[in-house]
Amino acid sequence: MYQIGELAKKLSVTTDTLRYYEKHGLLSPCSRSDTGYRLYNDGNLRSLQFIISAKKCGFTLNDIQELLSIQVDKSSHSCHEVKSFTEHKLQQVEDKISELVAIQSSLKKLVEACCGGNESAAHCSILSTLEDDNGITH
């Protein structure tokens, strides 16, 4: 059994984070000491690893809550369900990437067009492009 600080240290999170996860239904300590201290067991530790891994994969805490509810009762859920869920998240990530790549391209055009010299910005192509109504084409 671990106290909150021990578990936090073990997996490099803060105690605030653990309390936050508890409050939001992601991870509850298996018991409490007589004096009210949170006590975590190895199952809790594995759940926390799950949460951290899922976060690294870009799942939000809301997503993870859903994944955990599947995980604790696997037999009531299908592989298909889990895969769809993951594919949906992948799609979201790819949408965000496309958006950023479009922005990247706009910025690259600005940078490439600009001389970058030490003279005054009076005729700076970046500023004039931004001033121009139709300067940016996405």
Partner DNA sequence: GTACACCTTAGTCTTTACTCCAAGGTCAAA
Partner DNA sequence: TTTGACCTTGGAGTAAAGACTAAGGTGTAC
CA distance 42 to 10: 12
Binds 42, which of DNA, a copy of itself, none (CB < 5 to 8 A, cut-off by type)?
none
Q: Which residues bind a copy of itself (CB under 8 A)?
A: 46, 49-50, 53-54, 56-58, 67, 70-71, 74-84, 86-87, 89-90, 93-94, 96-97, 100-101, 103-104, 106-108, 110-111, 114-124, 126-127, 129-133, 135-136, 138
Burial 3-36 (b: 16+ CB within 10 A, else e): ebeebbeeeebeeebbeebeeeebbebeeeeeee
Pairs from 6-9 (Cβ < 8 Å, separation ≥ 24): 6/40, 7/40, 7/44, 7/45, 7/48
Tell me which of a copy of itself, DNA, none is bound by residue 107, counting a contact when its beta carbon lies within the kind-specific cut-off of 5 to 8 angstroms.
a copy of itself
Restricting to residues 51-80, which ones interact with DNA according to CB under 7 A? 55, 60-62
* Residue 6-45 contact track with DNA, rule CB under 7 A, x = bound: x------xxxxx-xxx-----------xxxxxx-------
Q: Which is nearer to a copy of itself, 16 or 58 (CB)?
A: 58
DSSP state, 32? E
37 binds, among DNA, a copy of itself, none (CB under 5 to 8 A by kind): DNA
102 CB-side CA count, 13 A: 8
